[in-house]
Amino acid sequence: MTRLDELIAFARSVKGFMPDDEGEALTRHALAAGTERPQGTWLEVGAWCGKSATYLGAAAEATRSVLYSLDHHHGSEENQAGWEHFDPSLVDPTDGRLNTLPTWQRTIADAKLEHCVVGLVGPSVTVAEHFAQPLDLLFIDGGHGHEVAWADYEHWTPKVTSGGYLLIHDVFPDPADGGRPPYEIFLAALDSGLFTETAAVGSLRVLRRA
């Protein structure tokens, strides 16, 4: 088994919200991005336990790129107690809040990706306002509420370079399948005239900046 295949197999076993085929699509498109432009700077919004970071990190390692994996690590609304995606094993008993950072760290260490997957711990907008590096690849998979998703779109997409990749997760054209905001920001990216869609796998959309 190649290192890339090993990492994909490992990513499948990591706790998180990424179907196998969409995760493999992440690796594949990130590999394309990194092959065209090696040593790129990549960032994902929404790290959770490191599942998508492993899929993207596999491609980062192969192309000598660096992936910043950003999260405040306290979960989104739908991850909190009483909601659909609550996981009591991720609650820190000290303060009763979700804390996915230790699990994220364990994942990246076990994957041996610490040299190219770097955690950024904090609120997305705060980090964005102090992050000047242009992005060759941006993956948006953070909070799915209206305000949070639009804030991610407005703060992070302008940093994508010409020819760079924008990937958006949980894009559901049919409201019966899931919430609106990721779909709305996907449409906004297309309407901006700056991005064109190049691929779709499940709820993952791949766009490129002109």
Task: Kindly list the catalytic residues.
Answer: 144
**What does 123 bind: ligand SAH, Mg ion, none (CB cut-off 5 to 8 Å by kind)?**
ligand SAH
**What torsion do the CA atoms of 129, 132, 138, 142 make, to the nearest 10 degrees?**
-20
- For Mg ion, the closer CB: 17 or 131: 17
Residues in region 76-115 near ligand SAH by CB under 6 A? 76, 100
Least distance from C-beta 48 to ligand SAH, angstroms? Answer: 4
**What does 170 bind: ligand SAH, Mg ion, none (CB cut-off 5 to 8 Å by kind)?**
Mg ion
Residues in region 121-150 near Mg ion by CB under 5 A? 141
Q: Is 143 in the site for ligand SAH (CB under 6 A)?
A: yes
Helix (H/G/I), strand (E/B), else coil: 209: strand
Query: Which residues, other chains included, contact 95 with Cβ-Cβ below 8 Å and sequence gap of 6+?
Result: none
Q: Could you tell me the end-to-end alpha-carbon distance of the chain, in angstroms, rounded to an integer?
A: 37
Residues in region 59-78 near ligand SAH by CB under 6 A? 71-76
Q: Are 164 and 137 in contact (CB under 8 A)?
A: yes
Q: Which amino acid is at 1?
A: M
Joined tokens for residue 183: 């779909």
**What torsion do the CA atoms of 167, 11, 120, 38 make, to the nearest 10 degrees?**
-60
CA distance 208 to 167: 9
Q: Is 152 in the site for Mg ion (CB under 5 A)?
A: no
Q: Is 142 in the site for ligand SAH (CB under 6 A)?
A: yes
Q: Is 40 in the site for ligand SAH (CB under 6 A)?
A: no
Binding interface with Mg ion (CB under 5 A): 17, 141, 169-170
Binding interface with ligand SAH (CB under 6 A): 16-18, 46-48, 51-52, 71-76, 100, 123-124, 141-143, 148
